[in-house]
Structure 1
Amino acid sequence: MNFVFSPMPTVSVPVLGMAARFPVHRIYCVGRNYEEHAKEMGFSGREPPFFFLKPTDSLVVVDSAQTGAMPYPSLTQNLHHEIELVVAIGKGGRNIAASDAAQHIFGYAVGLDMTRRDLQNDMKKQGRPWCIGKAFDHSAPIGPITPKAQAGDVDHAEISLQVNGSDRQRSNVAKLIWNVAETIEHLSAAWELQAGDLIYTGTPEGVAAVVTGDTLVAQITGLGPLHVQIG
């Protein structure tokens, strides 16, 4: 097949213990999926889950024992960190029941949903889509994927983020409003999931601004940590 210009290479994420890499199809994100974070954003209760997407090439892929570089984005004065458990889908499907969700999961990773909060808030006030606040270049750092069988009890794992060595976010995945299986059920009712999809499952409370030079260490028990420096 001929193209008018060379296509971009496939975006992929390393897998712990494997030479083969995980090819990425789409990036789905769940909004306000921890109760305390929903409250700090001005909401409360167990509202129906809602989703937004990031472009595949917004990933900043960071291998084990490395520190990734994320450039400080344009147009913002209020860049926020949001640590998230990322679910890597290995088997696609539509209308997947929560009870069957586990068989569709390949593995898990630590991710950051970086947010231009000022731009997001401006769009919210105007009733406009807020892609500019969420789906910008380099907005989705991710560490290596840990295969499901090696990840341990992810549903009850501690999740935490430190900035320059100080705690910013600390919670437990068990506090998700919609757990991983329920999220897959809701998401697959709206889109047909494909092998290669990544699901950023939401962030706990404690989101705050970072500036150029800050070093972020994101950790979830049982998974490889994610180190990122804001450039």
Structure 2
Amino acid sequence: MTEETTGHAQSDLGALSDQELRGAEALRRIVADGIEAILRPAGFEPCAKLAWIRGAGELQHVVALLVRRGMYDVQWGVVSPEAVPFLWGRPAQRGDVGDAVLSGTPGTVHHPPAAQSFRLEPTVRLGAVSKISAGLSVDMGRVEQRLSGFSSRRELRTYLMANRDAKDRRDFVIPANLPLKLFVATALAIIDGDQMACGLLAETEHAMAPYKDEISTGRLERLRKGTQGLCP
């Protein structure tokens, strides 16, 4: 290749990267190239707007692209559908990352993340779209691998209770605080019919004693009802 042809090729690439896309088309390309290209081959399927789900034994893995005031943020979660009524007093909603009993972001799995958050203007340069997509594909690969480690309630419970610090600083955001983590572990044990739920309930009641809000008291009451017939 001559210097002249090399110069033309570089000029063409530069012009292509400067091409502008409407925001909706930019998002479509980012989702296709940065998220679905990684998650779909790994067994995830779209289940709601900008959310993907994968069945994993007793659990579900969920990845969501959340939109807040023009910002897009990736959140992942491990959902135990049977635990959602204990948490929220209602049935699980398929693909709702807010139902997760364990959740985080790409940045909690690997810091710094490649492209965990981004903003899209009404028009976006193709070069920026390609950069975001490339970063997200790296993040999605790491998240998918991390989620693949959870398929049963027992292993999730064991993982959670391996750390009893007041604030768990491992690779997740929720349930980092010990009272909520104890609550989740107790709920998972109740679902499994494991009498370890009895001791965990006592710990949870002690840890949650300072919390008098309606959500916390409702959660404790549902746990107590769940242990009836299980604990002596």
TM bucket, shorter chain: under 0.3
* Structure number with bigger Rg: 2
Q: Which has the higher strand share?
A: 1
Larger relative contact order (C-alpha < 8 A, sep ≥ 6)? 1
TM-score (norm 2): 0.25
TM-score (norm 1): 0.25
